[in-house]
Amino acid sequence: AQKCVDLGRHESAIQACLLVTRADPLRESAHRLIARAHAARGNHAQALGQLNRYADLLRQEIGIAPSGLVVDLRRELLSAVEE
C-alpha cells in the first residue's frame, strides 16, 4: 500500500488498507496510510476523520490514546488545512 501512495495510486492504497483494517481493526500503520492517501488527494477532512475514528476505536477497545505518530500526523494535517 505504501508503494501505491508513492506511485500516486492513492485509491488503490486506500482500498488495500481498508482490507487490512477489516481484518485487523487496530493496525495503526494501515490507518495512518489511509489518512496520508486521502490527504495526498486533497481530502483533508477524510484524512482527519480516519485518524479520529481510529483514536476513538483505540479508546473504546483497549483504553489507550493513539501513538505519537498518529498525533503528529493529525497535527500535520490540521496545519495543512489551516494554511
15 vs 19: CA distance, rounded Å: 6
Find the range with the poorest average confidence among 4-8, 63-67, 71-75.
Answer: 4-8
75 vs 83: CA distance, rounded Å: 12
Task: Give me the pLDDT at residue 66, please.
Answer: 96
Asked if residues 65 and 76 have their Cβ atoms less than 8 Å apart, the reply is no
Task: Give me the pLDDT at residue 26, please.
Answer: 97
pLDDT tens-digit map of 20-72: 999 999 999 999 999 999 999 999 999 999 999 999 999 999 999 999 999 99
4: pLDDT strictly greater than 90: no
Interacting residues of 83 by C-beta distance below 8 A, sequence separation 6+: none
